[in-house]
C-alpha cells in the first residue's frame, strides 16, 4: 500500500526488466524467499495483497496509469498468470477511492474558496486549517445543509491528497479478494478485466470484452456517468485515432551524454513505441477522445458509441487511465450533503471496479502491451 514516492521514476515493464513494474515483481519474490527460508514457517508462495494508487497520490509525477499497471507487474490485473511470479496475489484498485469529501472541498469548508482561488466565495461553515467559521456567510440554512460535511470532517483531519481518509472501501475490496484467494471463498478476486475488443472499419460501435473467467460469475454493470466538467465525471473511456501517438509511458529523450533533452519525448518498445521517433511533450500520448458506452447484452462487455468520430476508426482505447475523477460536478449538493467515492461507471456486480486498461487497436482488435494479454 504505497508508491506515491515512486511516481517520479520509471514505471516500466517487468517483461523488459525495467522500472517499478520489474521491482514490484522482485519485491514479491524477495519477501517470499526471506519469509520462507526457515522450513515450516511461511509458505514460499505466500499470498500478497496490493493496493493501487488513489488518484490524489501522484505527488506531481507523470503517467499514473502506467504506475497502476506497474503495480500489477504489467499484467493489468492480479493474480498474474501461471509462472509469472505474481500467482497468489490480489489487488484493491483505489483509483476511485480519493478522499470522500475532497478532502474538504466545497463551499462548506472554511478557507476553501480562498485556498482554491474561487471567486464565488464559500460558506465557511466547517472550520479547518486555521480558518474559523464565518458567521456572516454561514447562515442558519447553510449551517444545516453543511451538517453532514462538518461531521465527516470533525476529528478526522486530512493530511493532504496522498492520504485519503476513505479506507473502508479499500478494506472491503482487499477483504473480498483475500477471502476468495486465501480463505476458501469461491467468488471473484478482481473487477472487470479487459480480454479484448473488436471494431470493423467504419463501424459505429466498438465492443470491449471483459474476461469471463476473472469475472467469476459476476456480471459487468455500467453505472450512469455524469457530464464531463472540470476534468471530472464523464465515461472515463477514451479512444485515440492516430496510432503514432500511442504510448503507455512517454519518456524524455536523452542525448549522447545521457542528459535529457528539454521538451523532447520518445516511446520505448516496452511502452508500445518504436524508440526512435521523437515528439514534443504535447504530441506523444495525445489526441484522446472521451466516448460514451452502454452495457453489452451478454453482461460481460460494453458497447462504445463511435458516432462522434464520424467514421474514423479508433487506433487505441483506454479506461480509468491516469488521474481519474468520476464525481458529478453538476450536482450542487456535492461536498455539501454528500461526498463522492467509489463512483466510476464500470463495476462488477460484486461492486469491484474495472481494472484500468490501455491497448492498441490493430486490425480491428485490441492488442495489449506484453506481459499483459488481451
Retrieve residue 334's grid coordinates: 456535492
In whole angstroms, give the CA distance from residue 200 to residue 205.
8
pLDDT in tens, 307-346: 999 999 999 999 999 999 999 988 989 989 999 999 999 9
159 has pLDDT over 90: no
H or E element at residue 171:
helix 168-181
pTM: 0.93
Digit-coded pLDDT (tens) for 108-146: 887 665 555 555 567 889 887 677 888 999 999 999 999
Average pLDDT (49-67) is 93
Tell me the C-alpha to C-alpha distance, in Å, between residue 100 and each of 14, 73, 296, 334, 370.
33, 28, 30, 10, 35
Distances (CA, A) of 38 to 34, 42, 53, 85, 328: 8, 8, 33, 20, 53
Q: What is the pLDDT of residue 144?
A: 96
Q: What is the pLDDT of residues 238-257, one digit of tens each?
A: 999 999 999 999 999 999 99
Q: Side-chain half-sphere of 299: how many Cα atoms within 13 Å?
A: 7
57 vs 351, higher pLDDT: 351
Q: Which of 54, 121, 51 is nearest to 89 (CA)?
A: 51
Look up residue 326 and give its three cell numbers: 468520476
Amino acid at each position: 500500500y504505497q508508491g506515491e514516492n515512486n511516481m517520479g521514476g520509471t514505471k516500466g515493464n517487468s517483461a523488459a526488466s525495467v522500472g517499478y513494474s520489474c521491482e514490484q515483481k522482485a519485491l514479491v519474490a524477495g519477501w517470499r524467499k526471506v519469509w520462507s527460508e526457515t522450513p515450516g514457517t511461511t509458505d514460499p508462495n505466500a499470498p500478497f495483497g496490493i493496493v493501487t494508487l488513489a488518484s490524489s497520490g501522484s505527488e506531481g509525477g507523470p503517467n499514473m496509469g502506467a504506475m497502476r499497471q506497474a503495480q500489477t507487474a504489467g499484467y493489468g490485473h492480479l493474480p498474474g498468470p501461471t509462472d509469472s511470479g505474481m500467482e497468489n496475489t490480489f489487488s484493491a484498485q483505489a483509483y476511485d477511492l480519493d478522499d470522500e469529501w475532497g478532502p474538504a472541498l466545497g463551499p462548506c469548508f472554511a478557507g476553501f474558496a480562498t485556498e482554491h482561488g474561487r471567486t464565488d466565495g464559500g460558506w465557511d461553515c466547517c472550520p479547518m486549517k486555521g480558518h474559523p467559521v464565518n458567521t456572516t456567510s454561514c447562515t442558519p440554512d447553510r449551517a444545516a445543509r453543511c451538517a453532514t460535511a462538518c461531521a465527516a470532517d470533525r476529528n478526522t483531519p486530512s493530511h493532504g491528497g496522498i492520504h485519503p481518509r476513505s479506507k473502508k472501501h479499500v478494506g472491503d475490496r482487499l477483504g473480498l479478494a483475500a477471502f476468495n484467494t486465501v480463505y476458501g471463498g469461491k467468488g471473484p478476486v478482481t473487477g472487470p478485466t479487459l480480454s479484448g475488443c473488436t471494431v470493423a472499419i467504419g463501424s459505429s460501435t466498438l465492443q470491449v470484452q471483459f474476461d469471463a473467467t476473472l469475472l467469476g460469475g459476476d456480471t459487468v454493470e455500467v453505472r450512469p456517468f455524469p457530464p464531463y466538467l472540470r476534468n471530472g465525471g464523464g465515461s472515463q473511456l477514451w479512444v485515440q485515432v492516430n496510432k503514432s501517438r500511442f504510448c503507455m509511458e512517454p519518456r524524455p529523450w536523452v542525448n549522447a551524454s545521457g542528459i535529457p533533452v528539454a521538451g523532447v519525448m520518445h516511446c520505448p518498445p516496452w511502452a508500445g513505441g518504436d524508440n526512435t521517433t521523437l515528439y514534443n511533450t504535447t504530441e506523444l500520448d495525445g489526441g484522446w477522445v472521451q466516448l460514451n458506452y452502454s452495457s453489452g447484452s451478454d453482461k460481460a462487455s460494453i458497447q462504445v458509441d463511435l458516432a462522434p468520430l464520424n467514421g474514423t476508426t479508433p487506433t487505441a482505447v483506454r479506461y480509468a487511465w491516469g488521474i481519474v475523477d468520476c464525481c458529478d460536478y453538476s450536482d450542487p449538493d456535492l461536498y455539501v450533503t454528500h461526498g463522492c467515492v467509489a463512483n466510476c461507471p464500470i463495476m462488477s456486480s460484486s461492486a469491484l471496479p474495472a481494472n484500468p486498461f490501455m491497448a492498441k487497436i490493430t486490425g480491428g482488435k485490441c492488442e495489449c502491451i506484453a506481459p499483459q494479454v488481451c
